[in-house]
Structure 1
Amino acid sequence: MSVNTPDAPALNSLGFAKSPAETRVVVAMSGGVDSSVVAAKLAEDGYDVIGVTLQLYDHGAALAKKGACCAGIDIHDARRVAEDMGFPHYVLDYENIFQDAVIEEFADSYLGGATPVPCIRCNERVKFKDLLETARDLGADCMATGHYIQRSMGELGAELHRAADPVRDQSYFLFSTTPEQLDYLRFPLGHLKTKAETRELARKYGLEVADKPDSQDICFVPDGNYAGVIEKLRPGAAEPGEIVHADGRILGKHEGVIHYTIGQRRGLGIGGLSEPLYVVKLDVDNKQVVVGPKEMLSTRVVPVREINWLGDEPFTSRKEWHVGVKIRSTRPPREAIIRPISDTEAEVELLTPEEGVSPGQACVFYDLDGPRIFGGGWIWRG
């Protein structure tokens, strides 16, 4: 005798077995076109949307500045979208959290001769930590962002996948998203093929930000002058020293190690030499900028720590993982072998050496045969 069972309720577009009206979603709104479209689309689809914008630094000095998120003009733009679409919007003062969790480490990393990526730390320590907890406190079923990345359900739960548009893919900046965070997050733009589609949606919803330019710089470094920001944060940090060839020759003077990055060639102030020279090392302790020929930039073995692993099997369950890795956000994944040392440390061997690998950068792990991201870690000196 068979027993008829009622069909399970259909899942809505965010993956919940209830109507959109019964599903509360907090949207992290930077004021740009991406997050504005996410909020507008979810509101249009009938979800219970709450928009939240973070004030991350003193936006009073940035009211007229374009090209950076979370400044005064961006808060205004986010609020206007919420008003037009008819959902509540809140601005949260996260200046102290952002200062402690992102800006201070950024300064210390540069002073230590590293090349930090503060946008990753912001996602990891502010947006996907404190803001996510705020979303839970507001009774939200999930939090949505305008990032170009995809969340896909696998056999063992939510997986992180690259965006459909390889040009817009932001997986490099989101490798430290934990499985617990991934369960709660949603990325409604990850399936779009081009940014033009996003702007077309913005025009469809009548959003004034439809043609707003993308942000180009780190939000608290609006003019790209990292050294200037460091000098303000750490007065006296730019101590002069020597520019030294790898063979020991003193070639000139510099006004502070913080003005240089690994792989830099231009602006060294040591012209008149027969060979092109590149920054190959920043010796902070001795206040030296070490330069050498291009071949000295080539790196095959990279020590990585603070690893966030998103694979199905435990990280240390194998002696080796054959994956693709990205050392820089703008480069495609290259074939590599990861050799775990512990749950959070590994040695990464690049099968094709990379140039200009610097401590402080991220090393992100990718499936060689598909779109999945297996996490990543931070490069250090070893």
Structure 2
Amino acid sequence: MKVLAAMSGGVDSAVAAARAVEAGHDVTGVHLALNRNAGTLRTGARGCCTIEDAMDARRVADRIGIPFYVWDFSARFAEEVVDDFVAEYAAGRTPNPCLRCNERIKFAALLDRAVALGFDAVCTGHYAVVRTGPDGRRELHRASDEAKDQSYVLGVLTAEQLAHAMFPLGETPSKAVVRSEAAERGFRVASKPDSHDICFIPDGDTRGWLAGRLGSEAGPVVDETGAEVGRHDGALAYTVGQRRGLSLTRPAPDGRPRFVLEVKPASNTVVVGPKEALAVGALAGARMSWAGPRPGADMFRCDVQVRAHAEPVPATAAFEGAELVVRPDEPILGLAPGQSAVLYDGTRVLGQITVDRTVAAVPAT
């Protein structure tokens, strides 16, 4: 096959590209320039898309003997990922930019260009498995290494996109094996730290970054009764489930910690309460995608996962009007509108919904 290998400059995409070459594919490497003002050097494990990353990717491409290009996707990334991130926070929701990047950049903009240029597949260093199911359709499954499994952030991929996806690391037992292989191949990135945090906020200060774009007007922090218990310096930087940085002036009557329960942008208010008030008994959304055929039944059983490394929870999902409503067998704590809920059948990804609303769990009596 003619394969386009997306090379971030990290060890995972380097080994993935090398494995694609060894499998006999006609591979071309490409590094995506996503930052309009890319820095020269990385700061430890923070950020990505620096000039250093592009050079690391080029050195790997040279070593495995494949053509290499840098494609400027910075304008598309700014519009589809960064602007979306800001808009979601402005609306009081909590987005996942990595998932959005996979949905709109790596497996939309990049894949569209790759197919237009005659490539059969896009290869990345994600830890996930694509298999052919009994019906001949391509299926997305969890990686062999549960600790590195990235099927959650790939849960937005459609069946059409999976038909052109290649994940050579999916069956690898551990990240240590990947690093060892990179060292054996002579890749300088073998010991390069993994990227953490949000790539376009390399210093990790999400609150400060958002304040620079949305402002930071002070306002009240209230409890569930509406009584003011503190002040904040910008509601939009808070997210449901947050405990730290609340600046409360009145402790809870029982002395227990308080958590963010809701962010109200219209009134610039943050609502806090006890941990048990975070329990969600149902979640619903109208924005959904399917990694295969949409389930034929109006109601079906599945496992639901709401964060990249959260434990999946058995649940019942039902189509109700324009929404898919998912009712977990056990309450999920701290789920915010804007997050993605990925649905599984065993190891297989069924699809995902963006959470528009949640329903509080009924307290046990």
TM-score, normalised via structure 1 length = 0.89
Counterpart in 1 of 2:235? 257
User: 2 CA distance for matches of 1:353 and 1:37?
Assistant: 40
Counterpart in 2 of 1:17? none
SS at match of 1:78: helix
Maintained 8 Å contact 1:321/1:339: yes
Deviations 1:160-216 (A, max 9, x none): 100001000001101110101111111110001100111121122111111111111
- Which amino acid letter does the alignment assign opposite residue 298 of structure 1? A
SS at match of 1:366: strand
Deviations 1:17-59 (A, max 9, x none): xxxxxx3211011110000011122224442210011000134
User: 1 CA distance for matches of 2:44 and 2:212?
Assistant: 21
Equivalent positions of 1:152-301 (< 5 A) are 152-156=131-135, 157-234=137-214, 237-271=215-249, 273=251, 274-301=255-282
Maintained 8 Å contact 1:111/1:257: no
**4+ residue stretches of structure 1 with deviation over 4 A?**
none
- Which amino acid letter does the alignment assign opposite residue 133 of structure 2? G
Counterpart in 1 of 2:355? 379
User: 2 CA distance for matches of 1:129 and 1:233?
Assistant: 27
Q: Does 1:323 align with 2:302?
A: yes
Matching residue within 21, 27, 35 for 1:43? 21
Aligned residues between the structures? 353
Counterpart in 2 of 1:12? none
User: 2 CA distance for matches of 1:331 and 1:46?
Assistant: 36
User: 1 CA distance for matches of 2:197 and 2:51?
Assistant: 16
Deviations 1:317-345 (A, max 9, x none): 31211110001112111011101135x63
TM-score, normalised via structure 2 length = 0.93
Counterpart in 2 of 1:18? none
SS at match of 1:230: helix
SS at match of 1:76: helix
For structure 1, the residue ranges without an aligned partner over 5 or more in a row are 1-22
Q: Does 1:95 align with 2:71?
A: no
Larger Rg: 1
Q: Residue 271 of structure 1: CA displacement?
A: 4.8
Deviations 1:103-135 (A, max 9, x none): 001001111111110011100001101111221
Deviations 1:336-370 (A, max 9, x none): 1101135x631111110011010111101011xx3
- Which amino acid letter does the alignment assign opposite residue 373 of structure 1? V
SS at match of 2:276: helix
Counterpart in 2 of 1:11? none
Counterpart in 2 of 1:305? 286
User: 2 CA distance for matches of 1:306 and 1:186?
Assistant: 26
Q: Does 1:145 align with 2:121?
A: no
- Which amino acid letter does the alignment assign opposite residue 49 of structure 2? C
Cα gap change, 1:319/1:43 in structure 2, threshold over 3 Å: closer, same or farther? closer
User: 1 CA distance for matches of 2:250 and 2:282?
Assistant: 33
Counterpart in 2 of 1:13? none
SS at match of 2:203: coil
Deviations 1:121-157 (A, max 9, x none): 1000011011112212332121111100000001231
Greater shift, 171-180 or 59-68, is seen at 59-68
Cα gap change, 1:162/1:64 in structure 2, threshold over 3 Å: closer, same or farther? closer
Maintained 8 Å contact 2:38/2:49: no
- Which amino acid letter does the alignment assign opposite residue 158 of structure 2? T
Maintained 8 Å contact 1:326/1:363: yes
User: 2 CA distance for matches of 1:107 and 1:196?
Assistant: 36
Matching residue within 81, 88, 95 for 2:60? 81
For structure 2, the residue ranges without an aligned partner over 5 or more in a row are 359-365
Maintained 8 Å contact 1:59/1:72: no
Paired-residue identity, %: 41
Q: Residue 260 of structure 1: CA displacement?
A: 1.5
User: 2 CA distance for matches of 1:259 and 1:122?
Assistant: 21
User: 2 CA distance for matches of 1:187 and 1:124?
Assistant: 16
Q: Residue 218 of structure 1: CA displacement?
A: 1.2
Maintained 8 Å contact 1:243/1:253: yes
User: 1 CA distance for matches of 2:12 and 2:282?
Assistant: 37
Q: Does 1:127 align with 2:127?
A: no
Counterpart in 1 of 2:362? none
Cα gap change, 1:213/1:335 in structure 2, threshold over 3 Å: closer, same or farther? same
Maintained 8 Å contact 2:211/2:237: no
Maintained 8 Å contact 2:152/2:305: yes
